[in-house]
Structure formats: structure tokens, C-alpha cells
Homo-oligomer: A and B are copies of this chain.
Amino acid sequence: MPPIKTRDRILITSLELFNLCGEPNTTTIDIANEMDISPGNLYYHFRNKDEITTGLFALYETAMNEALEPPKENKLEMLDYWMYVHIVFEKIWEFRFLHRDMVSILERNERLQKRFNRVIDRMQAAWAAVIQNMRRDFGAPISDEDIDAVANSAVITAMYWLNYQQIRAMGNAQVSANLGLGVYQLLLLISPWLQEEQRDELAAVAATYL
């Protein structure tokens, strides 16, 4: 296996530090120190922190676009939907610094604003597609208008679930960042339109994975 290139090591270390300490609280000097390289070496690859953040954003964008690709198969089970949503939550967890300090980061990086909003647009479309598929597969009696409203709530849940868990854990140490709880909270948004059978199935999947 070839050694990891310095550029990639900078990205990996930055992602760790940003997730741990928050992007606004981390400097390029912190990153260079953590890697035991000179700041000059770091600046050779990235002129400043915003360039590192933009590099990580590109990885986030690719990961999210892949994860949000709607499932192609017909007739999915509740477990398939659970897994689909779970993978999206895993990607958000991987790049959680972006969701934690979203406003601050985007205010400083104007070029990322439109790109981030395109990811959100895609997420909104993906949740709408999930609900449309459930309507088809499960015969859920939900209108197109209600699908839009639920997809919108699902976007807010996905984007802020981790932040919310972090706040809740501050007051009460036993709350954990269990991604499954976020997945369940999101799927519960759809559950009022499901038949008894699928609601039971969702409860069973949740009982297994929580």
C-alpha cells in the first residue's frame, strides 16, 4: 500500500480536529502541530483553513450525493428504508463539524452556500422519494402536499439531530449520540400515514436496532 499523501493526511487530521473541537476553534497551526509538520508544509498544500474546509466539503458532498441516491428496487421492506436513512445519518456523523457550525462556516465561505443548499435540495427530494415509494409499496394514503411537508420536517430532523443530541447530552450524561434514534425519529414522521402492519414493522425494526 502506498503511503498516504500529505494532502490527504492534512484532510484526515483536520476532519478529526474539526469534529472534536469545532471548525471555528481549530487553527491551521493546531493542524500542523497535531501532524508534526511545519506550518509552511501545510500552507504548501492549503493556503488557509477555508481551503481545507472546502476540501472536506467536497468529500462530504460526494458522500452525501452517493448516500442520497434513491433505492432503485421496487417493493422495499421497512428494514431497507431504515438502512437507507441510517447511511445518510452515518455520513452526517462523519462530517458532523459541518452541521455543528453550519452558519458560521457558510458565512465565511460564500462559495459553499449554494453547494450546501444543493445538498439540502437533494436531501429533500430523497426523503420525498422515500415517502412516495412507501405510498406505492405500502398503500399509504398520503397526498403530494403532505409528502412535501413531511420531507421538509425530515430534512430538519436529519440536519439538526446530532446538534440536538449534543445539547441534550450536556444536561444529562446518559444521553448518547445513537444514530439509530435519529433514524427512528425521522421515520416516525411518516408513520401516521402507514397501516397498522407497517407501523408494527417499524416498531420491530426499531426494537432490533436501538
A contacts, CB < 8 Å to B: 22, 24-25, 100-104, 106-107, 113-114, 116-118, 120, 146, 149, 152-153, 155-157, 159-161, 163-164, 166-168, 170-172, 185, 188-189, 191-193
List 29 contacting pairs A-B, 8 Å CB cutoff, sorted by A.
A22-B103, A24-B104, A25-B104, A100-B103, A101-B103, A103-B166, A107-B170, A113-B170, A114-B171, A116-B171, A117-B167, A117-B172, A118-B171, A120-B167, A120-B168, A146-B191, A146-B192, A149-B185, A149-B191, A153-B153, A153-B185, A153-B188, A153-B189, A156-B160, A156-B161, A159-B164, A160-B164, A189-B189, A192-B192
CA–CA, A167 to B101, complex, Å? 11
Cβ A171 vs Cβ B113 within 8 A? yes
Chain B, residue nearest A112 (CB): B170
CA–CA, A116 to B106, complex, Å? 26
A103 cross-chain contacts in B, Cβ below 8 A: 22, 100-101, 163, 166-167
Copies of this chain present in the complex amount to 2
| Other-chain contact of A157, B156, B166, B172 (Cβ < 8 Å) | B156
CA–CA, A155 to B165, complex, Å? 12
CA–CA, A157 to B106, complex, Å? 21
